[in-house]
Amino acid sequence: MTLKQALNRAKRILAANSIEDASLESELLLRHALGIDRVQLYTELNHELDRKQEAIFRNLIKRRLYGEPTAYITGHREFYGLDFYIDSNVLIPRPESELLVEKALKLAQNHIVPSIAEIGTGCGAIAISLGLNLPQAEIYATDISASALEVALFNCQKYRVGNRIHLLHGDMLKPLPEPVDLIVANLPYIKQSELRQMSSANFEPLLALNGGSDGLEKIQQLCCQVSSKLCPRGFLLLEFGQGQGRAVTALLRSLFPLAKIEVTPDLGGIDRIVSLTLPHTPQPIGLTLSPASR
């Protein structure tokens, strides 16, 4: 069987099993099986696979059919034009989260943001993308999962930003040693009742997906900590799920009535990012917090 035949066969199998982007995923899995890059794949399409290579590729396709995400199978995921190491200890970065990076970089063009904190960093994709584009910024990246921070450390070392990105173990904003100018976060926002409908939920860490009964538990917890960890005239960028924009903006307006709040849609036209700009003297209103929000 040639590479071309193997690729076409895999495409048909994945497509027949309702796997999106069957063409791309087939290519990624075949390249991983053979240890080659894209150029080599398409210049050697007539090359014959040996039995061992065929067996390896069949096994990868079988794992994908059982629902295991390609990023976990290959150990790689592209985000904001960069290649990140991924394993099952971290959430797989989604393309829509690149909007967080774009918004943060646009803020940095128009305002001074010498210090940034990314909350729930996972593999470090957002923090590292910001670090590479903002070499003068001091960046903190927190995560409650020590295993996730090990993955982030590997990626920081890969891109040689370990001296500027400080990985901190702990919940939400608590590990931050000082207030920062910009807080960026993509927290769990999936409703607990909807997790079973996600095929990837059997493989991705539930800690990084489960947003509680209404999907907003972690977002509320973060927002209630912001006032003590964000500098005057600082910025907050939050990603949220479909249909959650009104609830998130209402929460922020109740906490920061004098702040400027804007919502930005993703490329699909779905409201995805809320941005908050504090006034010079932030005046958060005190709330009675539930135990989960403390």
Residues 181-225 pLDDT 10s: 999 999 999 988 888 777 677 899 988 998 888 989 999 999 999
Give residue-wise pLDDT tens across range 214-225.
Answer: 989 999 999 999
Q: Which of 259, 233, 242, 287 is nearest to 111 (CA)?
A: 233
As a whole-number percent, the residues of the chain with pLDDT over 90 amount to 85
Give residue-wise pLDDT tens across range 131-162.
Answer: 999 999 999 999 999 999 999 999 999 999 99
Q: Is 238 or 285 the better-scoring residue by pLDDT?
A: 238
Q: Which of 293, 294, 258 is nearest to 276 (CA)?
A: 258
CA atoms within 13 A on the CB side of 86: 24
The pTM for the full model equals 0.90
Q: Can you tell me whether residue 149 is helix, strand or coil? A: helix
pLDDT tier at 288, thresholds 50, 70, 90: very low
pLDDT at 281: 58
Give residue-wise pLDDT tens across range 245-265.
Answer: 999 999 999 999 999 999 999
CA 291, CA 245: separation in Å to the nearest integer? 23
Instruction: Return the CATH class of domain 89-293.
Output: alpha beta
Neighbours of 123 (CB within 10 A): 27
pLDDT at 213: 87
Give residue-wise pLDDT tens across range 64-108.
Answer: 999 999 999 999 999 999 999 999 999 999 999 999 999 999 999
Q: Does residue 289 have a pLDDT over 60? A: no
Q: Does residue 282 have a pLDDT over 50? A: no
